[in-house]
Chain A
């Protein structure tokens, strides 16, 4: 990573820590939402951006995670146990959802996962004995951890930010390990990867399972944040929104989801000054952005930095290197 990147991350980290002290409660709620959805977007970026498996199911996993935590805590489970359980449940379901990906790819896979999202929505809406159907679940309490109540807006923000930091660090570690290389190989050329000894089946299932687990953990933070969940929050719309975050931020780039979620959560709110037009303008902006920077905002930034010459040492000219035998 170059110096510009490190400075950028340092500024972002300081801002994330300082922001809640300058914002009104709704502002804190919004950046909390950014933190929570970033976790789901990191998961999708792993499945889609790194491993190349198209998924329109991430919103469903946020839903499964949110409902798990809501139901389990109301059944008397301590929050940490419910949180872990939500993650494990989504890991398992994600693993199973990975099986179709062993047979179909690209838009076919998109439809498989799309159907799954619809299925989850229908279960949440129709299975009233379990999910309370369209009435949703009310009064989800924020946890008290080691005597620290996360009930306040600021406290819950920091709780979420801490969780994001831990999960992002774990993901970063995994992506810098040989697994990260294997996931990229899966995206770029699965047949060649298989011939080089990569168990592409197991890596594909892992990419789905871990990505889905992060979706579930995001949901586990989402439920206590909004304190009221209903099936309509976890429709295909959320899955598309998460997909948008990954693509707009920079698919297959570690910090892409952070930026993408920031844009997808905050941009519509900033556009509110235009009142009734804000969603129209937001949609138009996304179209323009996709047309001019298909590699996402991070991709665009990287190119801009390259253009002004901020880069590691330029590659040695091939001719010279061959001539001197270096």
Chain B
């Protein structure tokens, strides 16, 4: 499998704190890579640097072999890189349907062509399909802010898929989502993965979710990469148990 994303010697410090310390890894085409680690281990900061929300202090990021360090998130997104954030990020005063149309509209034509084009940017049908895929059809016309937390979380994920990305980062998709909704979310992610052969990176604390979904796992602690491997191996890794999982999880 070839690498879609290559991160080399990435470092990010805030004042005296080094949040990400010389991290290098590859994300391979078509895999579902899990990133785990304790709170404050630099998982989100790492990906904020990789995807342009933050500028790294040092290091390099390559997408398909081309350097993308310092590229703006909107330009990266138009190259097929999509993401969700740790905290819920929908547009509460737009309808569910408009949230999804928004998530796809900038991928078609130029900004000025959208001014004279159709109001739904020709994405109405695609949005309705996505809404159906995530089982939100009965809520399509509602304002996103009126949805329950779990439903907003589904919408948040749906938005990341709207433009048909080939690389998706999900930052704690399971956080605060109940078990039934979590099952639905996992099923939807796997279905999309199978259908589009997209590459996924999932940052998550919910270990069952990670173990069931991911094909490979990276472990971060204190800004460093401490382990890498198949989910089952990670579970038995003593360094990971010490730093993050604890004995109970390892024995489970």
Query: Which residues of A pack against B, CB within 8 Å?
Result: 174, 176-179, 181-182, 184-185, 188-189, 191-200, 202, 252, 315-316, 318, 321-322, 326
Contact = CB atoms under 8 A, between A and B. Distances in A.
Given A182-B102, A189-B89, A197-B78, A177 B117 contact: yes
27 contacts: A176-B119, A177-B117, A178-B102, A178-B119, A179-B114, A181-B101, A182-B102, A184-B91, A185-B91, A185-B102, A188-B91, A189-B89, A192-B85, A192-B90, A194-B73, A194-B77, A195-B53, A195-B83, A196-B74, A196-B82, A196-B162, A197-B77, A197-B78, A315-B138, A322-B135, A322-B138, A326-B138
Contacts of A192: 85, 89-91
B102 A177 contact: no
Interface residues on B, range: 35 or more
Nearest to A181: B102
Interface string B157-196: 0010011000000000000000000000000000000000
Nearest to A199: B74
Closest 4 CB pairs of A and B: A321-B138, A197-B106, A197-B77, A192-B89
A178 B91 contact: no
Given A178-B115, A178-B119, A318-B139, 16 more contacts: A174-B115, A177-B114, A178-B101, A181-B94, A181-B102, A184-B91, A184-B94, A185-B94, A191-B53, A192-B89, A196-B77, A197-B74, A197-B163, A199-B74, A200-B74, A315-B142
A202 B72 CA distance: 13
A168 B231 CA distance: 59
Given A181-B98, A318-B139, A326-B138, A194 B74 contact: yes
Contacts of A200: 74
A178 B113 CA distance: 10
A316 B115 contact: no
Contacts of A316: 138
A184 B121 CA distance: 16
Nearest to A187: B93
A118 B89 CA distance: 38
A321 B137 CA distance: 9
Contact of A178 (B77, B85, B114, B141): B114
Contacts of B94: 181, 184-185, 188
A202 B115 CA distance: 14
A185 B141 CA distance: 17
A181 B89 CA distance: 16
A242 B105 CA distance: 32
Contacts of A191: 53, 85, 89
A188 B93 contact: yes
A318 B53 CA distance: 36
A112 to B, nearest CB: 23
A180 B106 CA distance: 13
Nearest to B51: A195
Contacts of B90: 189, 192
